[in-house]
Amino acid sequence: MPTLTLEYTPNLSFDKQHVLTELNRTLIDSKQFSEADIKSRAICMTDFMIGISTEPRAFVIIKLGLLSGRSIETRDAIADALLSRTQALIPAPNGVHTQYCIDLVEHERERYRKAVVSHPH
């Protein structure tokens, strides 16, 4: 933990690896996570709808799963940092109504399981 899932619409153009690297860096800068524990991925939502209007629309939704136990203030700071960084990294195209959302989901620390396997080179 944490796990970061960036969902985006195909009408947004950006360098996925760069954005994931920078979002991971944002999480590291929060001092809440170890670098090797952060897992992130970007998923293009090819089939999507925002409301019912035919006007050009787009979204970026970041779902961040993290273990329970952090204060509201800490979670708010993480969400605010991710929102700010995402808007800077993925600009809204001209004429496209673009929504940026951060969804923090807490997982019970006592119920989370993880195994790490390392093979020698």
Tell me the pLDDT tens digit for each residue of 93-117.
999 999 999 999 998 877 877 788 8
| Mean of the per-residue pLDDT values of the chain | 95
Instruction: Tell me what pLDDT residue 27 has.
Output: 98
Q: Which tens digit of pLDDT belongs to each residue from 5-63?
A: 999 999 999 999 999 999 999 999 999 999 999 999 999 999 999 999 999 999 999 99
**How many secondary structure helices (H) and strands (E) does the chain include?**
2, 4
pTM passes above 0.85: yes
Q: Token digits for 107?
A: 């997982």
Q: Distance between CA atoms of 64 and 83, rounded to whole angstroms?
A: 12
Q: Percentage of the chain surpassing pLDDT 90?
A: 87
In the chain, the domains with their CATH numbers are 3-111 (3.30.429.10)
